[in-house]
A = this chain, B = another copy of it.
Amino acid sequence: MKSVEFQLDSRLQRDSEWVGLLDLCQIRLIFDRRYPWFVLIPQIDGACEIHHLTEEQQRQLWDESRRLAQAMETAFEPDKMNVAALGNVVSQLHVHHIARYTDDEQWPAPVWGRGEMVPYTAEEKKAQIGKLLAALQSTE
């Protein structure tokens, strides 16, 4: 029932697409083909800070983060994973998981607010989501 009541932030809605739902979090793909970039969003109304969640929710969030990072490593073979909870612009709690490459556009800088987001085509988006979901099925 919680998933029905949960209201996604309008900017996250605009900049990302639904990939799937784990026990606690939505996974969404960020619309920027420069990097394989997914966010985990705990479906908890009003959540902004990880350390304000219950300890059980925090354990669940980080377990889902581990699963997502492992799946991204399998699917996209990055040189480095960037995992971050910032929330300075969009306060609704969301945890970035970004696959970085030593030859990507902004390496070694962080990705936020640098350069212009490059949209996917519909086919690319579908392919990117498909790769992640396939890899996710093999994690536990």
Contacts and interface: CB of A to CB of B under 8 A. Distances in A.
Interface in A119-134: none
Interface residues of A, number: 31
A118 interface: no
Interface of A: 48-51, 55, 58-59, 62, 65-66, 69-70, 73, 80-89, 91, 100, 107-110, 112-113
Contacts of A85: 81-84
B108 A89 contact: yes
Contacts of A65: 50-51
Contacts of A50: 65-66, 69, 81, 83
B49 A69 contact: yes
A107 B112 CA distance: 13
A88 B70 contact: no
B112 A81 contact: no
